[in-house]
Each structure stands twice: as C-alpha cells, then as structure tokens.
Structure 1
Amino acid sequence: MEKPKTAKTAKTPRARGKHRRLWGSLLAVAVLLAGAGGWVVYQNEYDLTEERVTVTGGKQPLQGVLARPTGGHGPYGLVVFVHGDGPVDATHDTFYRPLWEAMAKAGYATLSWDKPGVHDAPGNWLDQSLQDRADETLAAIRWAKAQPGIDPDRIGLWGASQAGWVMPKAARQSPDVKFVIAVGPAVNWLRQGRYNLLAELRERHASPEETAAAVARSDRNLAALRSAGTFEQYRAAGGDIEGLTPERWAFNKRNHLADATEDLAALRVPVQLVLGGRDLNVDSDDTEAGYRRLVTTPGLLRVLRFPDATHNLVPKDVEDSELRSTFLAVAAPRSLFAPGYLDGMRNFLTSLDHRKG
C-alpha cells in the first residue's frame, strides 16, 4: 500500500513577512561587515612603494625597507629612521607607515631596518653602544647615497627617544646629515631615567614610602653601573634585577652616561624637535630648554609641541585605552597619532626644500 503523503503547511502572510525581515537583517549585517572589512583594508594601504633591501657597508648587513613615493620620478630626498630603545623591526610593527606616507607626500623616501638580532637579522642590538648606533646610521646613509632615485644632498634623520643620543653624534660626524627630526628625545640619560621613575610613580599615585623605596633601589642600581662590578655580582649582592638580563645590564652599563650636550651644541643643520606634553618617559620641558640653550644658530631649531600627547605622540586618552588604541591601530592607523603630527612632519620637509630653493 502506498504511504500517504504528508501535507505541506502553507505559510501565512505574517510568517512570510517575518522571514523576509530576518533575511533582510542578515543581509544588512553582511553588507556592513563587508564594508568594514573594505574600510580596514583601505586604511592600511599606503601611497608608497616599499622595497626590502639589504644595507651593506657597516659592521654587519642590515635588513631594511626602502619606501619611495609613488608619484614622480625622483630623485627623492631621504629620511633615515633611527629607532628608539628595544627590539624594533623596520616598520615598528607597521607603526612607521603613516609617517613614511606623510614624508612621501613631501617628496621624500624613507629608509628603516630591523635592529641587529630582530627577525633573525645578524648581530644583537644589546651589544651596541650609542656610538655603534651612530656608525650604523652613517653606514646606512653611505649605502643610500648610491641608490637610484635618491638625492644624496637631501638626506636627514628621523628618530625617537633613545635616538636623541644617536642622531646628534651622526650629524656631528658627517656632512651627509642635512637635517634632524627628534621625537621625544632626552639630553641626559641619568636625568631622563630619574624623571621617568618619578613620573610613573606619580601616575599610579604611589605613596611617599613606596616612592622612597623605588628611588633607593634606583640609586643602588646606578651605583652598581658606575662600579667595575658585573651583573652576577650585582645580583649576588641582592640588587634589583626585575626586568634585567645580563645583556640588558651590559647595554645599560655601556650607555648610561650618555649626554647629548656637546653633540647638540655642534649641530649646524635644521632641527625639528617634537614633544608630547603628557610624556612619562622624557621631561619635555627639560628637553626643550636644553635644545634651545644648545642649538643657538638662528633659524635652525623648530619646536612642535602636542600638549595632550604621550611619548609615542599618541593622545593620552587613546594610549590609556587598550580597546581604543587597538581599534585605531587596525581600523584607522593614521588617526592613532596626535592630530597635526603627520602634517607637521610633511610641512617640515617641504619647508627644507623651499629654504634650499
């Protein structure tokens, strides 16, 4: 016997309308997601032509990125990037690209490289002195001068933080350095370290007792750096080694007496000093006073201050919010920086060419 067929239930007009609304909502969400994805892709595309390069001529080859403007045919001026502290790669985890693009709009190429030991690059950045870093920078300039499309008479330096002790050395030692852009630099290493310690303690509202204990630990650390003792001896004597490795200890011991005073006083090229008013790493007022005292040739020093920006030239409220900073870094990286910073970089470079002309 044939099995009876199951009757189909007809959909009511109300049910059909609910179904259409559901599909419409899903379609709208899909369109929004696709649009957001397209926006993120667009925001992370830069008007640059990047080339992976090997920079030779120094103590060891450097793995770098040479980024050129997409428009025009050159020859382009060149900004050589000098990193701050830490294991920084050529793009600084893509953080540099908005800067490169801003500089490209002024007709300048940019050159940056992985620090020694980063991404399997030869060497170890912790083995370097600040003079080693200056020598490395000058070797990169000599290499760049021979590259096609680069104007050898328009090469300068951009650098942040620790680069403030490297760039004045390089500029003092070589006439190839035509300008310096110093972002959040300090003049004296020890003075900067004490400022940073106290600023971070104030930021987290440390008690007077906690502050006194932290200063005492810092003083013991500095005394050990000045002595002939080793890291192992310092550790055996009960020294504070939190966050320290033997390699980092050796780096600090090699460089902790750094002071840019003499090198800054010898500068005879345009200097763009960029400072954040909410910088916990560097005393921006002390730095500005030092640069104004030392760079005395009329017209060479220009100061660009961003009152609400941090050491990274990011607005304080953005840097303090992991959610906001992560969102902007992914979805709108140019907006991560303090308003006016990228334009300031482009305007400075453009003004150099006008001055030369």
Structure 2
Amino acid sequence: MCPKPKSRPRRRGVRAAVWSLVSVLVVAAGLVGVVLWQNSYDMDEQRVSIRHGGHVLNGVLALPRDGRKQHGLVVYIHGDGPVDATHDGGYRPLWEANAKAGYASLSWDKPGVAGAPGDWLAQSMDDRAAEAAAAIAWARTRPDIDGDRIGLWGASQAGWVLPKVAAKTPVSFVIAVSPAINWLQQGRYNLLAELRSEGASAERIEAETAKSDRTRRLLRRHATFEEYVRAMGGDADGMTADRWGFISRNYTADATRDLRALRGIPVLLTLADHDLNVDTADTERVYRKVLDAGGALTVERYPDAAHSLVKRSLEQSDLKLTLMALFSPRSLFADGFLDSQRRFLGERPTRQGPVALRTTPATGTGGATLLAVPFAGAKART
C-alpha cells in the first residue's frame, strides 16, 4: 500500500503564505491611507479662469470652510522656473494655514506651464506684476472675496515682482519669502555659496567667477544667444536661447527703489539662515533701510531652513524629502513657519472682527501629493 501524501505540512505552508500576503496588503493599505490623509487639506479648491492681456490665466482658488460669506485673499507670486498653480502641491500646506486664518488663496499656472497659453520665459518682471494686478482686479469682482483684504505672498524671484504689484494696485499686506534684492549680486552670491558648499578648489572658484564675468559683459552689450555660446567655447552648459532671452530682459532687476511702494504696508519678511540662493543679510539690510521707518516690517529668521524654507536636513536628502512629502507634508517646513504666517494673517483687521485661528487637524478632501521642493527657484549664475 502506498503511503498517503503529507498534505498537512503543505496546507500549513500555504496558510502561512496567505497570511503573509494578507499582512503585507494590510500594511500597504494602511500606508496608502496615511498618505491620502496627510495629503488632504481643510479647504475647498476650485479651478478659475482669469482674463489678462488677450489670454487666460489658469488658476486655483482655495477657500476656507469657516462658513463666512467673505474672506480675505492671499495672491501667490511664484519664484523662478516653470511653476504650476499649486507648485506641484507644495503650496497646499500654506493655503491650509491661510484658510485657518480665514483667508482664501489664489495662484495660477505660469504661461506655458500645464497647458497654459504663453511662455513664462518671454516675461519681464513688469509683465509678471501686470499679470498679478489683473488677478487682483478679477478677485475684487467676486462677492466671496473682501476687496479691502487682499495681500501678496511671493518667494525668491517674486521679490522683484511684489513691490511692482503694490505700485499698481492697493494691497493690504505682503509676505516675502527669501526675496532677493539685486539680480547680479544674487547671482554672484549663489555661485560662490554653492561652490563653497561643494568644497570647490580656489582654482575652480576663480574659473567659474571668470566665466560669470564673461556672461555679464555679454549681457551688457546685448549679445545674442549664439554669441554667448561662442564666447563659452561652444558649451552652452544648460543655457537655452529662451532662458538667455529671459535673463537678458531681467538681469538689471533691483528691488531697492521699488520697495518704497511697500512703505506703510504690513510686510512679513521671512528668511532662512542656510540660503545658498539669496544673500539674506543683504536682503534684511535693504528691507530695514527702506521700510523700517514706517514700523510695518516684521522680520523672521529660521536657523534650520534652506532657501525654500524646507528644513535643511530634508533638503539635503532626496529620500528623506520624498518620504516626508508623502507621509507628513506639513512637517517639510521649518518649525514655526506655517504657524507664523497664519498668525500674521490672523492679526490683519477684518470687517467682522478678529479671526479665531483654527488649529484642528486637516480632514478635508485631498490635494496632490507634494513631491517637489517648494519655492526652489532656478539659478541665474550671472
């Protein structure tokens, strides 16, 4: 008689494999749930269209859920680069903080980004300011926006745009995050700061500085892109004709005089102590010199933050940055950054009286997962 097959051990093995698979699926489902919950925000977003200069700005309006019929508004001015309305989701933690202070947020795709008409590289800083002024005029026609409580938020390159907007249309406050003052000075600071952070040799620093000086001479004599490439020995080093045109239009930007348009307007200047893009000491000095007399300037520094106001330890690691963006996007930013902006907005006067700041955790419907470093501007090594 043949012995019966040993089926019990086999069944136990199958059962163990099934339970292992179930455990993995449960853990995976739990992680997905955490990601979805952490990337959901307590506000309502709607797509909007804003007409300006013969074309349409594709925007996003994020509204609080506090039951009020009217809200103040924070209008977002992007930094450098091809930025969409949400900055790849990077703005949403800030919009939620604004909503808790009773403020809506408005942003739009840069021209040529995410299917928007136009080309952001064809813009000057004045063009960008006119665009923002048109968005504010549009917002003032909406019954759910208090036209007397509209202010600006801008990062990095937006430092050259914010005061130009304020000169075109009334604004009730400005939040300036890591703004530069002078284009050429900022470019040189960025070049040297990054080279030193990389541990570059004195010879390399000298060579890169000489290359930057050649670029400046070409800009001053209005050289074409082809002349630039020839001057660089045929190596464009990532420069494109469109980017060269953008730099040529804007390299003389300097915010010093324009900042006078912000006198008497509450300004929150937010700076990072580990900023390799912008000389924050120079920025603070100029802002204080131009604006301090009016007593409306508040300066806040974050010792553990990089240019984007993301924690420096996270920005130095792509893996840490991605994991934090997935599982705790509000924790990307320097400690106190979001709360500070919420308090600043909460201190602005309202027609209904002071706004009670909401501190409940987010439970709203979702926004896109944040995977990009917020507000990180492209470099202009000039």
The TM-score range, normalised by the shorter chain, is over 0.9
5 Å-filtered alignment, 1:263-274, equals 263-267=258-262, 268-274=264-270
Q: Name the CA distance, whole Å, in 1 between partners of 2:244 and 2:314.
A: 32
Query: Are 1:81 and 2:82 an aligned pair?
Result: no
Query: Are 1:222 and 2:219 an aligned pair?
Result: no
**Which residue type is aligned with residue 33 of structure 1?**
A
Q: Name the CA distance, whole Å, in 2 between partners of 1:297 and 1:178.
A: 18
Query: Are 1:142 and 2:155 an aligned pair?
Result: no
Give the corresponding residue for 1:238.
Answer: 232
5 Å-filtered alignment, 1:254-333, equals 254-267=249-262, 268-333=264-329
Listed one character per residue, the Cα deviations across residues 298-329 of structure 1 (whole Å, up to 9, x for unaligned) are: 43101111111011111111001110001111
Give the corresponding residue for 2:372.
Answer: none
**SS of the residue aligned with 1:51?**
strand
Shift, 1:354, TM fit? 6.9
In the alignment, structure 1 segments of 5+ residues that lack a partner are none
Q: Name the CA distance, whole Å, in 1 between partners of 2:198 and 2:6.
A: 67
Query: Contact 1:87/1:125 (CA < 8 Å) preserved in 2?
Result: yes
**SS of the residue aligned with 2:55?**
coil
Give the corresponding residue for 1:210.
Answer: 204
Q: Name the CA distance, whole Å, in 2 between partners of 1:121 and 1:22.
A: 51
Give the corresponding residue for 1:9.
Answer: 6
Query: Contact 1:58/1:135 (CA < 8 Å) preserved in 2?
Result: no
- Relative contact order (alpha carbons < 8 A, sep ≥ 6): 1 or 2 greater? 2
Query: Contact 2:222/2:248 (CA < 8 Å) preserved in 1?
Result: no
Of 142, 149, 157 in structure 1, the residue corresponding to residue 152 of structure 2 is 157
Shift, 1:173, TM fit? 2.4
In the alignment, structure 2 segments of 5+ residues that lack a partner are 355-382
Give the corresponding residue for 2:344.
Answer: 348
Residues 18 and 80 from structure 1, CA distance in 2 versus in 1: closer, same or farther, beyond 3 angstroms?
A: same
Query: Are 1:167 and 2:155 an aligned pair?
Result: no
5 Å-filtered alignment, 1:96-135, equals 96-135=91-130
Give the corresponding residue for 2:357.
Answer: none
Query: Contact 2:151/2:174 (CA < 8 Å) preserved in 1?
Result: yes
Query: Contact 2:324/2:332 (CA < 8 Å) preserved in 1?
Result: yes
Give the corresponding residue for 2:358.
Answer: none
**SS of the residue aligned with 2:111?**
coil
Query: Are 1:44 and 2:44 an aligned pair?
Result: no
Query: Over alpha carbons, which structure has the higher Rg?
Result: 1
Shift, 1:181, TM fit? 0.5
Listed one character per residue, the Cα deviations across residues 89-119 of structure 1 (whole Å, up to 9, x for unaligned) are: 0010001111100100000001100000111
Q: Name the CA distance, whole Å, in 2 between partners of 1:231 and 1:11.
A: 77
| TM-score, normalisation: structure 1 | 0.93
Residues 108 and 58 from structure 1, CA distance in 2 versus in 1: closer, same or farther, beyond 3 angstroms?
A: farther
Give the corresponding residue for 2:188.
Answer: 194
**Which residue type is aligned with residue 203 of structure 1?**
S
**SS of the residue aligned with 2:99?**
helix
Q: How many residues align?
A: 351
**SS of the residue aligned with 1:153?**
strand
Shift, 1:296, TM fit? 2.4
Q: Name the CA distance, whole Å, in 1 between partners of 2:116 and 2:253.
A: 26
5 Å-filtered alignment, 1:86-97, equals 86-97=81-92
Shift, 1:16, TM fit? 7.5
**SS of the residue aligned with 2:106?**
strand
Residues 8 and 344 from structure 1, CA distance in 2 versus in 1: closer, same or farther, beyond 3 angstroms?
A: same
**SS of the residue aligned with 2:150?**
strand
Shift, 1:352, TM fit? 1.2
**Which residue type is aligned with residue 326 of structure 1?**
T
Query: Contact 1:58/1:140 (CA < 8 Å) preserved in 2?
Result: no
**Which residue type is aligned with residue 93 of structure 2?**
P
Of 36, 57, 64 in structure 1, the residue corresponding to residue 59 of structure 2 is 64
**Which residue type is aligned with residue 68 of structure 2?**
H
Q: Name the CA distance, whole Å, in 2 between partners of 1:282 and 1:128.
A: 22
How large is the Cα RMSD of the aligned pairs? 2.1
Shift, 1:8, TM fit? 4.7
Q: Name the CA distance, whole Å, in 1 between partners of 2:224 and 2:14.
A: 75
**SS of the residue aligned with 2:270?**
strand
Listed one character per residue, the Cα deviations across residues 112-162 of structure 1 (whole Å, up to 9, x for unaligned) are: 000001112111111111001000000000001112311100000001000
| TM-score, normalisation: structure 2 | 0.87
